[in-house]
Chains A and B, each alone.
Chain A
Amino acid sequence: MHASFHPQASFDPDYNPMIRKLESIFTLTDDERRALETLPMQLAVLRDHQDIVREGDRPSRSCLILGGFTATYKITAGGKRQIVAFGIPGDIPDLQSLHLKVLDVSIGTLTQCRLGFITHDDLRDLCTRFPRIAAAFWRETLIEGAIFREWVINIGRREAYSRMAHVLCEFLVRLRAVGLVEGHACDLPITQVEFADALGITPVHINRVFQQMRADGLIELKGERLNIPDWDRLKHVGEFDSTYLHLEIDQAVA
C-alpha cells in the first residue's frame, strides 16, 4: 500500500529529513518541493537490529530513513562484521540500488526506524522530471564515497582514541545538518560492540577508549545521550575537518 507523506498522522509532516537535506544544498522551487512532498512512499516501522535489505538482494525500491539509525555492513566468511557506514534520518542508504541491480552490502536498523520505501520507478520519474533533484542524489552518492574514503584513512591510519573522536565528530556534524543536534548534544544509540565493528577495534578496547575520553572530559554520556563539552578539542583529537562532508558553511559546526 502506498501512502504519501501528509496523511501519516504519526509523523510530523513538516519534518521531512530528505527535503531538509536537499534544501541545505539549494533552494527548492515550489514544483520540486511539491513533488518531494507527494512522492509516494510506503511507510514502515522496523524494530531495532532488523535487516532492511541484504547483500545479494535485487531491490525494486530504496528506503529513506525518516527516523532512527541504520548500519550498512558486510560480513567476512568467518562471520566477522564490518560496519561501513551509519545511516541517519534523511539518508537513503541503498540509493545505489536504483542503478546497481544487485546489492553489495546489507543494511540493518540499529534502533527502531521509521522508513519510507520509494519504488525505483517513482525515483526514476522524479529524477526525469526534476534534473536538479537527480543531480542532488548523484551528489549524495559522491559524498557517500567521500565518507568511505575518510573511514578508510580513519580505520587504517588513526589510533583508536583519535578514530573514535573522529567518528563522533562526523556523527554530530551529519546529525546537525538534519536538525537533530541541540548545542553539542545528540542521541547516540550505538553500542560499544557496534562501534567496535565500525572502527575495527575490539569491544574491550572500545570500552577503554570511551572510559579514557570520559576521564579526559572529551565526551559526556548519559544513557544514549552524548554531549561534547569542548567541540574544538574533540575535533583536534579526531583530526576532524568537515570539508569531505561538503555541507553548507553555516552547518559546519564552527
Chain B
Amino acid sequence: MSFTLQPIRVATGFDEEGMLVLDEEQRLLAVLTHISDENEVAPGQWYLEAGFGRLDGINQPTFADLDAAQAWIGQRLASGQ
C-alpha cells in the first residue's frame, strides 16, 4: 500500500507542525507531529500522534526523522500487523 504526506498544523497546544498520512484513496492513515524543541523527552522528533486501522495502538512511537517514520508506516502497512 502506498501513501502520501500532506503538511498540516496540529493543535497540540504547542507550536507544532505535522503531516497527514493518506493512502492512495485519500483515506487518513495517521497524523505525525514534529515535536517542539520545548518537549525535552523527544525534541525535534516525529511522533505518531494518531494512527488508524493497522497504525492504531497505545504505544505511539517517536522517530528521529520523517524518513524513519515513513519506513515504519510502510512496514506496518505491509506486514498487516
Contact = CB atoms under 8 A, between A and B. Distances in A.
B42 A204 contact: yes
Given A80-B59, A204-B47, A204-B62, A192 B13 contact: no
Interface string B1-26: 00000000000111000000000000
Interface in A191-231: 192-193, 200, 202-208, 211-212
Q: Which bracket fits the contact residues of A? A: 10 to 19
A204 B58 CA distance: 13
Contacts of B40: 192, 207
14 contacts: A192-B40, A193-B41, A203-B41, A204-B35, A204-B39, A204-B41, A205-B60, A206-B41, A207-B39, A207-B42, A208-B13, A208-B14, A211-B38, A211-B39
Interface in B52-71: 58-60, 62
Given A200-B58, A202-B60, A207 B13 contact: no
Interface in A118-169: none
Interface string A97-137: 00000000000000000000000000000000000000000
Contacts of B42: 203-204, 207
Contacts of B60: 202, 204-205
Contact of B39 (A80, A193, A200, A208): A208
Contacts of B35: 204
